[in-house]
Amino acid sequence: MNNKLIDAALSKQIEDALVARNLRGMKTVQPALQSGYYQRAARVLNKCKGHVLIGTGFPVVDTFETDGPVGAIALYNALEKLGATPVLVCGPPVSQALAKDFRVHEIRVGEHQERALEAFQALYRYHPDAIVSIERPGQAADGGYYNMRGESISPRTACFDTFVNHAKCPTIAIGDGGNEIGMGNISEALKDLDIVSSATQVDELLIADVSNWGAYGILAYLSIWNECDLLADVKPLEILEYLSNLGSVDGVTRLNELTEDGLDPKEGEAVLLELRQLIGMA
């Protein structure tokens, strides 16, 4: 079997593993994407040696949810290990919570006329090699932001869409429900889901049952190509404990607990193990 066939088979195995639970319909909409999306996204990030802007942080009540930051931190640490300079882009309170331990670029919450200027200035400052969005709310067709319950969260949301829309570098997004940045790529496929879907598009959309796990799919490929087990470095429970101490909540239960989308961290650990087995590192 030639390498292209092996690569295609592994791509499909990773993609299927990450939507196997079909918690919010991502397995259902998977056919709308061209297979190989994790591999293509990882190939972009594997070349990055400058800044990579990672947008994350989904507002829940008056704080932020655990899904998104866990994966963003895992990707941040891996890219830094490989020689890139990742920067977390988010609005308060998550920006303020993470600023002590990570490079953070804070964007303002709520609607304001300088959203585009805010993005242009940041893009000029960092001149990023790539932009990644992990569980960031995406603007709907009406310009607003909505959670999975269909409630408006616009007053509490910082706009990362402007970064994606004005970027002159590759843009990648990870989502798990349809209302995140990037889901505009498959808007037709999302019509049967009971959500207000995002209209914002990216170069490469990645889907997963939990957005955090999408970051692990990228790390699987980066591990292969750099001959180091980056997945083994990810400790979901430790990151959840770190975030919990900073005031995070589960996006489903809205409680300050060590879970992601209502799931025990053992679920994320099982996904990490499955990916490590698929790439022959476990």
Low-confidence ranges of the chain (pLDDT < 50): 1-2
Question: Rounded to the nearest 10 degrees, how much is the dihedral formed by the CA atoms of 282, 3, 203, 260?
Answer: -20
pLDDT at residue 5 in the model: 55
- Fold assignment, 3-278: inorganic pyrophosphatase (n-terminal core) (3.90.1640)
Computed over every residue of the chain, the mean pLDDT equals 95
Q: What is the pLDDT of residues 123-157, one digit of tens each?
A: 999 999 999 999 999 999 999 999 999 999 999 99
DSSP 171-219: EEEEESSSSBTTGGGGTTGGGGSSS-------SEEEE-SSHHHHHHHHH
Asked if residue 215 lies in contact with residue 174, where contact means CB atoms within 8 angstroms, the answer is yes
Structure tokens at 57: 């942080």
Between 236-245 and 265-278, two packed helices, what is the crossing angle to 10 degrees? 140
Handedness of CA 52, 58, 63, 64 (dihedral sign): negative
The 10s digit of each residue's pLDDT in 49-78 is 999 999 999 999 999 999 999 999 999 999
The predicted structure's pLDDT at residue 3: 55
